[in-house]
Amino acid sequence: MITGNPQPFDGGFLRVNAVAIFRSAVYNVGMNKRPLQEPTFLLLTALAQGPQHGYGIMTDVERISGGRVRLRAGTLYAALDRVVAEGLVEADREEVVDGRLRRYYRLTPPGGDRLAAEVERLQQNAAVAAKRLELRHRATGDLA
């Protein structure tokens, strides 16, 4: 059994009575190089307009997606925990409304950059798809 108070140590290590423990965020390694899942993309898009509380995000995501994506509370808060841990979103403020705590979230600058990169990736993919469909229609004589 190790006893003693953990002490900060450089490089992400903690020293506890001469035992170094490395803490790594392996889960987050390379995460911002992967395409965003649609619910995460829509969550970040909702926050691009400004800070919102959980219910506001849920209704905005549904509106943005034309009703295709409906985030339930558990799904939303799990996603918020993940994007907060990734540094894409942060808590903005809290207020009490009708005796209940309402937390507002906002997009961070890295979150805005990540959303912009995803928009660019999607636009490039859509442009390639549109061009190929156009070529296909020309080749088959289908102008529909």
pLDDT tens for residues 91-144? Answer: 999 999 999 999 999 999 999 999 999 999 999 999 999 999 988 888 887 655
Ordered by where they begin, the domains of the chain are: 7-110 (1.10.10.10)
User: In terms of Cα–Cα distance, which of 90, 92, 83, 70 is closest to 118?
Assistant: 83
- CA atoms of 67 and 59, how far apart (whole Å): 9
In a 13 Å sphere around the CA of 93, the CA atoms on its Cβ side amount to 6
State which amino acid sits at residue 102: R
Q: If you write DSSP's letter for every residue of the chain in order, what string do you get? A: ---S--EEEGGGEEEETTEEEE---GGGTTGGGSPPPHHHHHHHHHHHTS-EEHHHHHHHHHHHTTTS----HHHHHHHHHHHHHTTSEEEEEEEEETTEEEEEEEE-HHHHHHHHHHHHHHHHHHHHHHHHHHHHHHHHT---
Q: Average pLDDT for residues 78-98, to the nearest whole number?
A: 95
pTM score, whole prediction: 0.72
Digit-coded pLDDT (tens) for 13-44:
555 555 554 444 444 445 557 899 999 999 99
